[in-house]
């Protein structure tokens, strides 16, 4: 998910491609459904767009471990604890698959990660909101993973082989994430009044940030056009957002929660739900680092990374010791 | 440990991971991961790539040890076999009624 | 007379099962603290796996404990509605993680012990325990492998990592005393469990000694330390763990989750 087409990435497309013929042929091939593999020739812009998008996606997965991870220790039942732990673990795995796919483009994970830790890289705005109650765990599964799945399914058809394959694997694993969230909320909605309030409060807080997850509107989205030509992103932000709202509104009815948007109503003519205006000012503030949790998230990861330096140095030293022993022993 | 300590850090090597999903099938490339040595790579592969019964055997190979063919030699390497259609059974016409060939 | 003896037997078996269940649960809770902040992404995933294994073990054991009691309490009642003095885990499970070296050292010593216990229970005169042991042993073998390899890598890594392992060991080692000091419950259950603390010790120390040798670290001497979580007398850490873990169940009694 989490590829919100954020253009202020760490890697800017600075050079123009020299080889116009190759580029035209490349775009022609991609349009014809040809899959690009790591060593194939590719326009520099394509490579950079992929690195930016894939690493943002990877960062989002690992940052996404934090808000939900905060509830593992407080999960209300052992069953829920196991589910949540397995889910957060999966998100770490997704980050790993995506970094690994990005590394096929000739960048190292450490460098990408350093960009994240030093605020040079973006990640999905959604994880900069706090998880304030147990219901948030359910709402994240239902809405946030729901939105993620919607965004990720088309990416399994992406023109870059390693990205597409990582997405296939990720989509398979995602399938339980959304369901567990919905089930959790449904259970709470059959509980006490207090529990129902908890769910409604959580939906109120997460609804709009989730709608923003699909990124800016198509008219304001800088990368949409070339991403489409290159087969990186085949469905636009607005199309995804509309799909998401169309499938989610009936689910909310079944659950018995209100979505905090008075403008949501079925439009017979369009065959879609209409919905209200997104507060794009808030979106850009969060994306630029001013969301409620941006600083906490980065700080948590930066601290963990720095505290891990001596560990990583030690295992490299040990591996070297072993090699020396092998040679002489 | 200052802020820049990570700059002098040596990057932990990348390993490619191959999984045999069941006996009778070949190992298939599933992705990569970082590990200090092969032993650690096997362990990490077990945790990262085999969490849902995906396999019965793991191979790990340092990514640096893989030599890949150059896509620009594609024509030279793979082109010549394209017109040797007589290597394929569909090249041959047999009279109606012939069985078990 | 007979009835009284059976009652003690049941109470002791329940205590023993809860001791294993609580140790697994609290160790899992501590392990889960690493999720998202481990030294490398691969390790986030590995430690979550260990935490999940331990959590699964505790759930099987709570289910058995519940059956022993006649089903009056669920696994969640055991986990979320008991106070610290009713918890019977070994204290080592509740120790703070500290840095990664301390965490690995603790988990290496604890999982090695768990391994000897599960192996021994394969011969118990109790089919439920045998089944749980057989399943848990497979998982625990991997935990031992994982944490002993970290203990060796860090012990035999850089000067810094070695120093940190030694400090972690210094802090954690005395708590292993509790694995083997006198144990009225094991004695009274000997006919069923066929488990003796001195046999456990022999097996445990043998495995541990090999790993220490590979890490080029001297085995510490057996300490005099007093430590009896298995009788419900804990360190001050457990109260905090439970306050966090039990918060929802305590704040919203009878809720649906
Ligand atoms: Fe994910
Ligand atoms: Fe997910």
DSSP states of A14-68: -SPPS-HHHHHHHHHHHHTTPPB-TTS---HHHHHHHHHHHHHHHHHHHHTHHHH
Cα C236 from Cα C239, distance rounded (Å):
6
Contact C237, C89 (CB under 8 A): no
Q: For chain B, what are the domain ranges?
A: 12-91
Measured in Å, how far apart are chain B's first and last C-alpha atoms? 73
Ligand 2 centroid from CA B11, angstroms: 28
Distance A174 CA to ligand 1 centre (A): 6
Residue C37's pLDDT is 97
Mutate which of C31, C34, C42, C164 to test chain B, going by most B C-beta atoms within 10 A?
Answer: C42
How far lies A163's CA from each of A25, A51, A101, A231, in Å?
21, 10, 6, 12
In this predicted structure, what is the pLDDT of residue A328?
Answer: 63
Helix A109-117 to helix A44-63 angle (10° resolution) is 60
Q: Compute the distance between CA of residue B21 and CA of residue B42 in angstroms, rounded to an integer.
A: 15
Strand partners for B32: B16
Strands B14-20 and A265-267: unpaired
Select from C40, C41, C146 the Cβ nearest to the Cβ of B43. C146
What are A171's two structure tokens?
Answer: 């989509």
Tokens of A178: 């959304």
CB neighbour list of residue B53: distance below 8 Å, 6 or more residues apart: none
Q: What are the DSSP calls for A114-162, one per residue? A: HHHHTT-S---GGGGS---SHHHHHHIIIIIHHHHHHHHHHHTT-SBHH
Cα pseudo-dihedral C39, C40, C42, C45, rounded to 10:
50
> Residue B3 above 50 pLDDT?
no
φ/ψ (deg, to 5) at C246:
-95, 0
How many angstroms from the chain centroid is the CA of residue C36? Answer: 22
Pick the residue of B47, B49, B50 with the most C CBs within 10 A to test the interface with C by mutation. Answer: B47
**Residue numbers in chain A where pLDDT is lower than 70:** 1-18, 326-329
- DSSP classification of residue C223: P
| Distance, CA of B98 to CA of C55 (rounded, Å) | 64
Could you tell me the pLDDT band of residue B77, with boundaries at 50, 70 and 90? confident
Q: Say what the pTM is.
A: 0.93
- Distance between CA A34 and CA A67 in Å, rounded? 38
Answer whether residue B2 shows pLDDT above 60.
Answer: no
B to C CB pairs, distance under 8 Å:
26
Q: What is the pLDDT at residue A69? A: 96
Q: What is the pLDDT of residues B17-49, one digit of tens each?
A: 999 999 999 999 999 999 999 999 999 999 999
Per-residue model confidence (pLDDT) at position C4 = 56
The yes-or-no verdict on residue B1 having pLDDT over 50 is: no
The reported pLDDT for the residue numbered A1 is 43
Distance from the first to the final alpha carbon of chain A: 50
Does residue C2 have a pLDDT over 50? no
- C35 to chain A: nearest residue by CA? A69
| Average pLDDT of span C94-107 | 98
Q: pLDDT, tens digit, for every residue of A183-197?
A: 999 999 999 999 999
Q: Can you tell me the distance from the alpha carbon of A100 to that of A54, in angstroms, rounded to the nearest whole number?
A: 10
- Give the residue from B9, B40, B41, B51 with the most C CB atoms within 10 Å of its CB, the best one to mutate: B40
**Residue A81, C-beta contacts closer than 8 angstroms, at least 6 positions apart:** A72, A75, C32, C55
Q: Which are the contacts of A308, defined by CB distance < 8 A and separation ≥ 6?
A: C38, C39, C40, C100
Minimal CA separation from C48 to chain B, in Å: 9
Q: Does C166 touch chain A (CB under 8 A)?
A: no
The Å distance, Cα A87 to ligand 2 centre, comes to 7
Q: How confident is the model at residue B99 (pLDDT cuts 50, 70, 90)?
A: confident
Question: Which distant-in-sequence residues (6+ apart) come within 8 Å of A167 by Cβ?
Answer: A152, A155, A156, A158
pLDDT at site C109: 98
User: Tens digits of per-residue pLDDT, C12-28?
Assistant: 999 999 999 999 999 99
- Indicate yes or no: CB of C40 within 8 angstroms of CB of B43: no
Residue C1 has pLDDT above 50, yes or no: no
The pLDDT value given to residue A18: 56
- Ligand 1 mean position, distance from CA A195 (Å): 27
Query: How far is CA C250 from its chain centroid?
Result: 25
Question: Quick check: A223 and A49 in contact, CB under 8 A?
Answer: yes
Q: How many Cα atoms sit within 13 Å of B22 on the Cβ side? A: 2
Cβ under 8 Å to A: C residues 87-106: 99-101
Structure-token match 């005393």, residue found = C177
Cα of A177 to ligand 2 centre, how many Å? 5
Counting ligands in written order, the one closest to the CA of A86 is 2
Q: Which ipTM was obtained for this model? A: 0.96
- A61 CA from centroid of ligand 1 (Å): 6
Lookup: tokens for A282: 């808030």
Which listed ligand is nearest to A87 at the C-alpha?
2
Q: What is the pLDDT of residues A138-179, one digit of tens each?
A: 999 999 999 999 999 999 999 999 999 999 999 999 989 999
Burial class (CB in 10 A: 0-12, 13-18, 19+), A45: middle
The per-residue pLDDT for C10 is 87
Note whether A310 contacts B31, CB cutoff 8 Å: no
- C-alpha of C93 from chain center: 5
Q: Please check whether residue A310 touches C, CB under 8 A.
A: yes
Chains linked to C by 3 or more Cβ pairs within 8 Å: A, B
Of the candidates B27, B23, B25, B26, the one whose C-alpha atom is nearest the C-alpha of residue B49 is: B27
- C157 with A313: Cβ contact below 8 A: yes
Q: B95 to chain A, minimum CA–CA distance in Å?
A: 39
- Mark the residues whose beta carbon lies below 5 A from ion ligand 2: A 145, 174, 177
- Using a CB-CB cut-off of 8 Å, the residues of chain C touching A195 are 252, 255-256
What are the φ/ψ torsions at residue A36 (nearest 5 degrees)? -90, 135
Mean pLDDT over each residue of chain C, to the nearest integer: 95
Interface test with A, best of B1, B4, B5, B6 (most A CBs within 10 A): B6
Under an 8 A CB cutoff, do A65 and C36 touch? yes
Residue A50: both structure tokens together: 């992929």
Tell the CATH superfamily of the B12-91 domain: Phenylacetic acid degradation B (3.10.20.520)
Q: Check residue A327 and give its pLDDT.
A: 62
- Interval between CA C239 and ligand 1 midpoint (Å): 34
pLDDT digits 0-9 by tens, C141-182: 999 999 999 999 999 999 999 999 999 999 999 999 999 998
Inter-chain residue contact C49 with B33, CB threshold 8 Å = no
């Amino acid at each position: 998910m989490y590829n919100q087409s954020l253009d202020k990435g760490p890697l800017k497309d600075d050079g123009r491609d020299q080889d116009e013929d190759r580029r035209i042929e490349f775009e022609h091939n991609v349009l014809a459904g040809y899959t690009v593999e790591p060593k194939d020739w590719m326009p520099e812009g394509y490579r950079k767009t992929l690195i930016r998008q894939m690493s943002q996606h990877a960062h989002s997965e690992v940052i996404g471990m934090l808000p939900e991870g905060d509830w593992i220790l407080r999960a209300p039942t052992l069953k829920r604890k196991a589910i949540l732990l397995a889910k957060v673990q999966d998100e770490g795995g997704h980050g790993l698959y995506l970094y690994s796919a990005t590394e096929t483009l000739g960048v190292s994970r450490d460098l990408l990660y350093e960009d994240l830790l030093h605020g040079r890289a973006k990640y999905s705005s959604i994880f900069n909101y706090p998880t304030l109650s147990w219901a948030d765990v359910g709402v994240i599964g239902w809405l946030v993973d729901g939105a993620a799945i919607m965004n990720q399914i088309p990416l399994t058809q992406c023109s870059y082989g390693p990205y597409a394959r990582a997405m296939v694997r990720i989509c398979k694993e995602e399938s339980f994430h959304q369901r567990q969230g919905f089930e959790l909320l449904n259970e709470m909605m059959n509980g006490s009044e207090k529990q129902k309030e908890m769910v409604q409060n959580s939906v109120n807080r997460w609804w709009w940030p989730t709608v923003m997850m699909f990124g800016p509107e198509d008219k304001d989205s800088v990368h949409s056009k070339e991403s489409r030509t290159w087969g990186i992103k085949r469905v636009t932000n607005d199309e995804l957002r509309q799909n998401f709202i169309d499938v989610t509104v009936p689910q909310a009815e079944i659950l018995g929660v209100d979505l905090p948007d008075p403008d949501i109503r079925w439009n017979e003519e369009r065959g879609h739900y209409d919905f209200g205006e997104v507060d794009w000012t808030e979106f850009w503030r969060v994306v630029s680092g001013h969301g409620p949790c941006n600083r906490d998230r980065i700080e948590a990861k930066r601290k963990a990374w720095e505290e891990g330096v001596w560990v990583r140095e030690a295992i490299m030293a040990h591996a070297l010791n072993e090699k020396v022993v092998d040679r002489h022993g | 440990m200052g802020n820049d300590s990570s700059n002098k850090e040596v990057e932990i090597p990348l390993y490619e991971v191959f999984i045999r999903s069941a006996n009778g099938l070949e190992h298939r490339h599933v992705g990569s991961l970082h590990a200090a040595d092969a032993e650690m790579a096997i362990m990490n592969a077990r945790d990262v790539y085999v969490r849902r019964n995906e396999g019965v055997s793991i191979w790990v190979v340092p990514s640096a040890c893989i030599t890949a063919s150059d896509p620009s030699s594609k024509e030279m390497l793979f082109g010549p076999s394209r017109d040797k259609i007589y290597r394929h059974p569909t090249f041959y016409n047999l009279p109606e009624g012939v069985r078990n060939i | 007379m007979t009835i009284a003896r059976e009652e003690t037997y049941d109470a002791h078996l329940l205590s023993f099962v809860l001791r294993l269940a609580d140790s697994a649960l609290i160790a899992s809770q501590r392990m889960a603290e690493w999720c998202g902040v481990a030294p490398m992404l691969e390790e986030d995933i590995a430690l979550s796996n260990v935490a999940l294994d331990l959590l699964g073990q505790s759930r099987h054991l709570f289910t058995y404990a519940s059956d022993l009691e006649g089903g009056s309490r669920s696994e969640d009642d055991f986990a979320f509605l008991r106070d610290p003095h009713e918890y019977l885990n070994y204290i080592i499970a509740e120790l703070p993680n500290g840095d990664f070296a301390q965490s690995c050292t603790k988990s290496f010593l604890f999982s090695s012990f768990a391994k000897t216990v599960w192996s021994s229970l394969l011969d118990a005169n109790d089919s439920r325990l045998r089944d749980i042991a057989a399943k848990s042993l497979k998982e625990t073998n991997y935990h031992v492998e994982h944490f002993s390899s970290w203990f060796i890598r860090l012990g035999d890594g850089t000067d810094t990592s070695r120093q940190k392992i030694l400090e972690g060991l210094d802090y954690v080692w005395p708590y292993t005393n509790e694995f083997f000091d006198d144990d009225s419950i094991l004695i009274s259950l000997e006919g069923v469990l066929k488990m003796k603390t001195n046999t456990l010790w022999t097996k445990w120390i043998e495995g541990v000694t090999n790993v220490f040798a590979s890490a080029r670290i001297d085995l510490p001497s057996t300490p005099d330390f007093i430590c009896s979580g298995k009788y419900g007398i804990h360190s001050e850490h457990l109260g905090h763990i439970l306050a966090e873990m039990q918060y929802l169940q305590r704040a919203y009694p009878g809720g649906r989750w």
